[in-house]
Amino acid sequence: MPVIERAANSPDEYVKNAGRYLRFVLTGTYTPASPVFPGF
Task: Compute the distance between CA of residue 29 and CA of residue 9 in angstroms, rounded to an integer.
Answer: 18
Helix (H) or strand (E) holding 8, with range, is helix 2-8
Q: What is the pTM of this model?
A: 0.81
Mean residue pLDDT across the chain: 92
Which pLDDT score, from 0 to 100, does residue 28 have?
A: 97
Q: Could you read off the pLDDT of 9-40 as tens digits, one per residue?
A: 999 999 999 999 999 999 999 999 998 887 66
Residue 21 backbone phi and psi in degrees, to 5: -60, -50
Check residue 11 and report its DSSP letter. S
Task: Compute the distance between CA of residue 10 and CA of residue 3 in angstroms, rounded to an integer.
Answer: 10
Among residues 33, 7, 2, the alpha carbon closest in space to that of 20 is found at: 7
How many domains does the structure of the chain reveal? 1
Q: Which domain holds residue 37?
A: 1-40
Which amino acid is residue 33, in one-letter code? A
Q: Is the pLDDT of residue 8 over 90?
A: yes
